[in-house]
Structure 1
């Protein structure tokens, strides 16, 4: 018998913890369950079908662990799996359960940050190739010009704790030079991967001072606050004991805890959960 009904927060690895941190700061009263599919990370270069399979499997696991609401705090999973989960997979589940992503709430507000109406989007190869941000931003801000740049080496650098070493600077500057070469009028850059806040200061150091970088944590947290206000039936189904549980699909939980604590900016003590894949 499951007692807690926590908000589930999913990521392929550690990046979703930057979103979780912002959510917990704004909504500390709820119970939370975080699941990082670190055994199969990174998702960025995987196919649509693989990402959907892995993401849906993890979402089902979180449902079974008591979560009525799951946030895909991963841009790649949001880009490549969320639509299928929402439109097809959930039909066979409890109709009260919900799965939300990070792309739509970001697209709803990103146009408010720019003066030139030209923005850059930095993300994984999977997120960029999906075109999800181009589609979603166009729904809310059709006047914007959006330029994208895949940064395939950033997640490995961050997850291996190499991001603050001199060798990482080359790859940070390389991708920033590539996106800025697309237009001199870009004045806002969206960090469309939840890992990237860990190198936001380094990114800012290689950009002109007038360019704003936008991380997603606070945006997603504010969107969740609004969602729960608009859906009292969901809000009332979530238990409020202020608890946090962390799970990883890697059996080396000690290693996960070291990395996760860096992303969450607080000590993390995780448990192993097995997946079939």
Structure 2
């Protein structure tokens, strides 16, 4: 039997398979500080990047339902893999049955919308997890808006572990960052814009800039997602009224609270309290 969902206003839900979504949350809170947020990290089952479409969809839907049960009417999938592999199915197949007035938004579309005004050469690169690259979501979404842009992708399987183990600024990261940037540029030497298609990657920006050829612009997702959300709430006052505004943020994880607090410190400049939940 499905749980009855509350109709009263609640926080904006922000979901990620791990910690990377905290880079998105940080930007959203800077742009929209007055709103309340619940951040859910499915840290017990991370990473999503190497999992099948079916499993990513199943896990993401479970997380979305948990945030709905906690009072969220709007959920942001601050995870490229979940946005690539689960968002469309949830929007089309699940929301009409769960509650047609609730919304789930992703991070790929807002990022893609910005590309047209940034690239001059019309050659764009994407650095992301294997799951996001294999899904083909970025070329698909870019070509819907900008059919003349050439898109090349490079999977960077070691970059998330480097960030989550706080090795993103260590000499050990140099090899993996340099290797994947070089691989991407070899695929298309005319690339002038690179999308960081994983929410962990902004923590590697210092290293990325170190090995990036001159004249290439790096697009990090947080600012575009935050501005897109601000615009969305302005265009949809009926959703805005369902979002509480007390400037509070709650953190929940499917893993150990202590482990989450320690690891999240790489992404956050604040002390946080964390609650452990089970999602199924």
Q: TM-score, normalised by structure 1?
A: 0.97
1:42 is matched with which residue? 47
* Deviation larger for 55-64 or 205-214: 205-214
1:257 is matched with which residue? 261
1:181-200 to 2 correspondences below 5 Å: 181-200=186-205
Q: How many residue pairs were aligned?
A: 275
What displacement does 1:47 show? 0.2
1:68 is matched with which residue? 73
Q: TM-score, normalised by structure 2?
A: 0.96
Hey, what's the Cα distance between the residues in 2 that align with 1:269 and 1:113?
A: 39
Secondary structure, counterpart of 1:200 in structure 2:
helix
Contact 2:126 2:194 in 1 (8 A): yes
Hey, what's the Cα distance between the residues in 1 that align with 2:130 and 2:147?
A: 24
Hey, what's the Cα distance between the residues in 2 that align with 1:4 and 1:92?
A: 20
1:144 is matched with which residue? 149
1:269 is matched with which residue? 273
2:232 is matched with which residue? 227
What displacement does 1:275 show? 2.3
1:55 is matched with which residue? 60
Hey, what's the Cα distance between the residues in 1 that align with 2:245 and 2:93?
A: 30
Structure 1: runs of 5 or more not aligned: none
Q: Deviations over 1:68-100 (max 9, x none)?
A: 000000000000000110000112112211000
2:114 is matched with which residue? 109
Hey, what's the Cα distance between the residues in 1 that align with 2:132 and 2:39?
A: 22
Contact 1:20 1:264 in 2 (8 A): no
Structure 2: runs of 5 or more not aligned: none
RMSD: 1.2
Hey, what's the Cα distance between the residues in 2 that align with 1:260 and 1:43?
A: 18
Hey, what's the Cα distance between the residues in 1 that align with 2:203 and 2:257?
A: 21
* Deviation larger for 155-164 or 66-75: 155-164
